[in-house]
Amino acid sequence: MFLKHLSFVFTLLFLVTAYSCKTEPIDDSTEITDSDSDGIEDANDNCPETANPDQEDSDNDGIGDVCDTDYPFEPQAYCEDGFANIYPCKDYNLMAHIPIEILAEVGASGTDCWGWTDPTTQKEYALFCASSGVAFVDINIPNAPILLGKLPTATINSSWRDVKVYNNYAYILADNANDHGMQIFDLTRLRNVNNPPETFAADSRYTGFGSAHNMVINKDSGFAYAVGTTRSGIYAGGPLFINIQDPINPSDAGGFPGYAHDAQVVTYNGPDTRYTNREILIGSNENEVVIVDVTNKSNPTKISSITYNNVGYTHQGWFTEDMTYFILGDELDEVNIGNQTRTIIFNFTNLEAPKYHMDYLGPTAAIDHNGYVKENVYYQASYTAGFREINISNIESKTISETGYFDTYPENDNTSFNGAWSVYPFFPSGNIIVSDINRGLFVIRKKDL
């Protein structure tokens, strides 16, 4: 009798519970909301009203870059349908853009740029020149750059300021800047910047010259070559040889007469075996290209020179990696003649008898400025047309083509002195920096890297 009673109680409890579950209403008031339809619910979205599926937050303030109004740098933008944000592009993404107003004094303009890769940490740094000084930017995380500090000019502001690197030291000079000389800055100081941005002081200053337009360094020999120095000087503006093997204490080592606007100096390992392991300077000398053996600093020897048709201003050039061809930019031919962007290529197989090889005409009327070679690509800063990637893998057969670009000056591609001044393509990571006169520093990267 007891067991029957217990069974009845359990059956009754089961029926009551089942009925309660059946009749209890389902609360569906907590629906997931995704206002911008980017696949991330508003509660977890750092920009709930603006689609940003990657949730980039470069300054780590909890607000996504696409809607962050206080982030001073222009954030990453992918090259899609021919544009990265407002910038025309082909196969290059914008990683970051730091405006000139942040990098330099009010009213300053951008000039040259160079890079440094810390051999100890492998971190990458951009060295951005402006008329008021040099800015040092950590770009190791390219879409979240850090302005570490600035080194002011040694004298007055100048529209021509250049920097190069040797053994973890930056060497900075300026043109038309009175007795500026060469500032020397220990780049390893950038490892320990606690409160960026700092205002730096130079570690040393070389005063063996006053103004200079540019400088090149041969890392193999430990010599720097200041070019575009005072025309009234002992070498009439020709390259000054400076021993920087003791990086903080440079010393004068001579020079070569004849104004050189820019140059490249290499320890030669090209097809002309008569000059193997000789130190060769290729000077862009306003109206011609000059080849000089500078191995013996007390007795440099001119090997040859070459000019070309429709010279405007022989500005700057760079060897191909096999040192067979020399690629030259003329800065004024577009202005004087009205042709499209022209790049002149010489065959330097015989250093004593260089030959004209070909002209390459770009797709715009912009003025070409600085250009460098890495592997089979010529990286060209082309003022209003921005950065241009030119494939030179078939240079021997005279088949050259533009294969990519990132236009830092979207207003136009006119023949004027605005936009990209220089490009630095030598970072191991594939990051590329472009210095822009009007807009400052751009960090870009090829899409497939």
pLDDT tens-digit series, residues 85-117 = 999 999 999 999 999 999 999 999 999 999 999
What does the pLDDT look like over 169-213, one tens digit per residue?
999 999 999 999 999 999 999 999 999 999 999 999 999 999 999
**C-alpha span between 142 and 133 (Å, rounded):** 22
DSSP string, 12-56: HHHHHHHHHHHHSPP--------TT-SSS-GGG-SSTTS--TT--
* pLDDT of res. 53: 81
In this model, does residue 31 exceed pLDDT 80? no
| 153: its two tokens | 């000019």
Summarize the confidence of residues 1-19 as an average pLDDT. 44
Q: What is the mean pLDDT of the chain?
A: 93
**C-alpha span between 329 and 378 (Å, rounded):** 11
In the DSSP assignment, the letter for residue 273 is G
Give the residue with greater pLDDT, 3 vs 309: 309
In this model, does residue 21 exceed pLDDT 50? no
- Residue of 203, 287, 280 whose CA lies nearest to 247: 203
* pLDDT of res. 30: 57
What does the pLDDT look like over 306-333, one tens digit per residue?
999 999 999 999 999 999 999 999 999 9
**C-alpha span between 312 and 421 (Å, rounded):** 18
First to last CA, the chain: 83
* pLDDT of res. 12: 41
| 313: its two tokens | 């201003």
* pLDDT of res. 20: 46
- Residue 65: strand, helix, or coil: helix
Please state, as a whole number, how many other Cβ atoms lie within 10 Å of the Cβ of residue 305.
15
In this model, does residue 391 exceed pLDDT 80? yes
Q: What are phi and psi of 335, to 5 degrees?
A: -70, -45
What does the pLDDT look like over 77-86, one tens digit per residue?
999 999 999 9
pTM: predicted TM-score of the whole model, two decimal places: 0.86
In this model, does residue 29 exceed pLDDT 90? no
Pairing between β-strand 420-424 and β-strand 432-436 as defined by DSSP bridges: antiparallel
* pLDDT of res. 22: 45
In this model, does residue 56 exceed pLDDT 70? no
- Residue of 171, 163, 133 whose CA lies nearest to 151: 133
In this model, does residue 368 exceed pLDDT 60? yes
Give the pLDDT band (50/70/90) at residue 62: confident
Q: Which of 21-25, 133-137, 330-334, 403-407 has the lowest mean pLDDT?
A: 21-25
* pLDDT of res. 61: 72
